[in-house]
Amino acid sequence: MTAPTLTKATGGAPAAPPAAAIPAAGTGQIPPPRATRRLASLIRAGARTAGRGIWASGAILLFLLLWEFGPTYLASASTRVFLPPLHEVLRALGSLIAKGQLQDHLAASLTRSAIGFGIAVVAAVALGLLVAWYRSLDRFLNPLLEVFRNTAALALLPVFTLLLGIGETSKISIVAYAAFFPVLLNTIAGVRTVDPLLIRAARSLGLSNFRLFQKVILPSAVPTIFTGIRMAGTSSILVLIAAEMVGAKAGLGYLIVNAQSSFLIPDMYAGILTVALLGLLVNYLLVAVERHFSRWRTAVGSQSN
């Protein structure tokens, strides 16, 4: 995949470095031979990374180019109204930021999803630990949890709106609901899959049930729990935007729908772009957190047996 860019880059590296890769590296000085060689290899490495970077972002760039020029040159005039080129969207985004509107909507959405997400994580981890620990509770609750889990959160949106109104409560609740199940299921799975040998080892050291839980079961379940939290993060944003589209006075979902109905099409796309970037950012952060807590898991497979 990277081969073509790579050969091109390394081949021309010392004499004529590819323009994009090394901006003005090594110009204006005459370094001794060894340093030259080191510089050359540095340049080559830089070119390789840059080449790889260009290749990796190629699809995105193509997409953005299509967005910019497609509407102007390919689409009919009526379509162009509903699909403005990228620069118009970015201009709309800029003016939304300048007017402080975007920040307000973003803050509204973030507050709701953070509160709902937080409630869900705390509740789901607590319940998950209980369910995993007490078998009878699991047998009792499991059928009901299965029913709720398989009911799409958005299908329940009208119910939340009817019971809790169109204010903050209903939105926070539906976010919490949507985020609850991934965390719950992963917590249960995490506790269940603790290596029984570790339990035996800890028991042989005379640990009480509580200490066993705190020192063995919980740490060993943490990576799995964080996988659930990451999944919950994605779904909480998804559900929140939908909820804000149905009935709200602020938030990114509201921004998108309101812009559409006010025929501010570039504003609408600016809202969508913000949602996409927010989703990426949240996922990136949660993946980083998850990785941090799972470091020890590398090669854990070779550890048993």
**What's the distance, CA 94 to chain centroid?**
24
- Considering the rule CB under 8 A, would residue 196 count as an interface residue with another protein? yes
Q: Which stretch binds another protein (CB under 8 A): 92-100, 121-129, 140-148, 195-203?
A: 195-203
Given a contact cutoff of 8 angstroms between Cβ atoms, the answer to whether 75 and 83 are in contact is: yes
Give min distance, CB of 294 to another protein, in A: 9
Exactly one of 156, 199, 264, 287 binds another protein (CB under 8 A); that residue is: 199
Report the alpha-carbon distance of residue 240 to residue 251 in Å, rounded: 9
- Give CA–CA dist 158/176, Å, rounded: 15
Binding footprint of another protein, residue count (CB under 8 A):
35
Among residues 63, 134, 140, 284, the one that binds another protein under rule CB under 8 A? 134
Binding status of residue 76 toward another protein by CB under 8 A: no
CA–centroid distance for 113 within its chain: 13
| 258/250 Cα distance (integer angstroms) | 10
Please, which residue, 55 or 133, has the CB nearer to another protein? 133
C-alpha distances in Å from residue 178, one per residue of 90, 161, 231, 232: 32, 15, 10, 7
- x/- site string to another protein, residues 271 to 300, per CB under 8 A? ------------------------xxxxxx
Does 55 interact with another protein (rule: CB under 8 A)? Answer: no
Rule CB under 8 A: say whether 130 interacts with another protein.
Answer: no
User: Interface with another protein includes 198 (CB under 8 A)?
Assistant: yes
Number of Cβ within 10 Å of residue 259's Cβ equals: 20
Provide the token pair at 58: 């190629």
Distance CA 287, CA 225 (A): 12
Report if residue 139 touches another protein, rule: CB under 8 A: no
| Residue 20, CA atoms < 13 Å, CB-side half-sphere | 11
Which amino acid is residue 305, in one-letter code?
A: N
Nearest distance from C-beta of residue 129 to another protein, angstroms? 12
Binds another protein by CB under 8 A, chosen from 54, 67, 133, 247: 133
Contact call for residue 192 and another protein (CB under 8 A): yes
Distance, CA of 76 to CA of 83 (rounded, Å): 10
Is position 45 an interface residue for another protein (rule: CB under 8 A)?
no
Nearer to another protein, 79 or 208 (CB): 208
- Contact segment (CB under 8 A) with another protein among 47-55, 133-141, 233-241, 243-251 equals 133-141
For residues 279 and 132, the answer to whether their CB atoms sit within 8 Å is: no
Please report whether residue 75 would count as binding another protein according to CB under 8 A: no
Measured CA angle at 202 (ends 201, 207), to 5 deg:
145
Interaction pattern, residues 204-233, with another protein; x per rule: CB under 8 A: xxxx-x-x---xx--xx-x-----------
Binding site for another protein (CB under 8 A): 133-135, 192, 194-207, 209, 211, 215-216, 219-220, 222, 295-300, 302-305
